[in-house]
Amino acid sequence: MNWIKNLKKSFVEKVKQTFKRERPSRKDQDNSLWINCPGCNQMLLKEDLKRNFNVCKCTHHFDLDPKTRFSEMFFDDGEFEIIECPDWADPDPLNFKIGDKKFIDKYNAYKKKTGQQSAILAAKGTVNGLNIIAFGYNFQHGGAALTQREGEHLIAGIQRALDEKVDAVVSFYQSGGMAVTGNLNSLKNMPVQMMAMKMLKKAGIVTIGICGSKITGGTFCNVYGNDFIFAENPKSENLLFAGKRVSASVNKGHELPQDFGQASSIVDHGMIDGAFESRMEIREKITNLIRVLLKKSEIETKAESTSNVKVDLQSVS
């Protein structure tokens, strides 16, 4: 009766091929007007989502690029000065390649796609009158993996903060960690950044880390160099040093909790200071915190801002 089984198997395979759904490519998904929300499994119009700063009605937070964040929901009047990445900072000192594919070609493609000099957008401006330098990690730039170039960009921003004695440095994290393509050149970012953050503390500059989803590896370690650490929302996920699969393989025989690596869980375990309900709260709440820490009232901040403007105008005249 094997011929019957073979005939049945052949028929099933033909049916599968006939009704097979091709998974849309990444390019098709990017060009589509719609996007599926993993939080509520609803189809959303991208334009509607964009108007709500990439936050679904179910409170799921989609990625938000640093330029949009800085210009539309962080800096006063959407105005800020971009801190340039040093020209000499090399993202590929080892000339890394796999077969015929060069990493530098991929890196340049990321720069073209995001319009950024590196995976990090560094900017200076005022937030509710406070002088702040902010770093935004762009996950569209190769998962915001940190090469030697990103490390030097961060140091340039921190040096600017020290030189100008700003009120605070705020970092919006979302990164896959140190780039493996750079080997030790990438890994050295970890101790260098920790030392730089320590210098900010000695200078009395407040440092605050804001965690979006997807922070792993060395970046997860560097988050803890900040004075205060908050998650963008309670559902921010994959906030862990190693991925869930790696963690599960290490803990064989032990099932990982459902909320493993989720913001609400790491808040409960005391690993970070708290989680905002939404990214819309961040601007007001962190400036209130900074004022308390610096013992500055809103009136004093505005007065300082006004006096600085007058000094600049006098020097010009």
Task: Give the per-residue SS3 of 60-107.
Answer: CECCCCHHHHHHHHCCHHHCCEECCCCCCCCCCCCCCEECCEEHHHHH
From the number of C-beta atoms within 10 Å of its C-beta (0-12, 13-18, 19+), residue 299 rates as exposed
Examine residue 168 and state whether it is found in any structural domain, yes or no: yes
How much is the pLDDT for 187? 87
Q: Reduced to 3 DSSP states, what percent helix, strand and coil does the chain have, rounded to the nearest 5?
A: 45, 20, 35
CA-CA distance, 115 to 108, in Å (whole number)? 10
Q: What does pTM read for this prediction? A: 0.83
Examine residue 251 and state whether it is found in any structural domain, yes or no: yes
Q: What is the pLDDT along the chain (317 residues), one digit of tens a residue?
A: 566 666 666 776 776 666 666 666 666 666 788 888 888 888 988 898 899 999 998 889 999 999 999 999 999 999 999 999 998 999 999 999 988 899 999 999 999 999 999 999 999 999 999 999 999 999 999 999 999 999 999 999 999 999 999 999 999 999 988 998 888 888 888 999 999 999 999 999 999 999 998 898 888 889 999 999 999 999 888 888 877 777 777 777 678 888 888 899 999 989 999 999 999 999 999 999 999 999 865 555 545 544 443 333 333 32
Examine residue 37 and state whether it is found in any structural domain, yes or no: no
Examine residue 248 and state whether it is found in any structural domain, yes or no: yes
CA-CA distance, 224 to 229, in Å (whole number)? 7
Could you tell me the two tokens for 233?
Answer: 């929302």
Examine residue 136 and state whether it is found in any structural domain, yes or no: yes
The radius of gyration of the chain's CA atoms, rounded to the nearest angstrom, is 23
Helical (H) or strand (E) element with 22: none
Angle at alpha carbon of residue 298, lines to 296 and 299, rounded to 5°? 100
Residue 44 CA, distance from chain mean position: 23
- Could you list the residue range(s) of the whole structural domain that residue 116 is in? 64-309
How much is the pLDDT for 311? 34
Examine residue 4 and state whether it is found in any structural domain, yes or no: no
How much is the pLDDT for 29? 67
Number of domains in the chain: 1
136 Ramachandran zone, left/alpha/beta (phi>0; psi -120 to 50): beta
Q: Per-residue DSSP letters for 199-242?
A: HHHHTT-EEEEEEEEEE-HHHHHHGGGSSEEEESSTT---BSSS
Examine residue 283 and state whether it is found in any structural domain, yes or no: yes
CA-CA distance, 215 to 226, in Å (whole number)? 15
Examine residue 34 and state whether it is found in any structural domain, yes or no: no
How much is the pLDDT for 309? 37
183 Ramachandran zone, left/alpha/beta (phi>0; psi -120 to 50): left
In eight-state DSSP terms, residue 144 is: G
Domain at 288, CATH number: 3.90.226.10
Could you tell me the two tokens for 35?
Answer: 């996007």
Check if the beta carbon of residue 138 is closer than 8 Å to that of residue 70.
no
What are residue 162's DSSP bridge partners? Answer: none
Check if the beta carbon of residue 82 is closer than 8 Å to that of residue 121.
yes
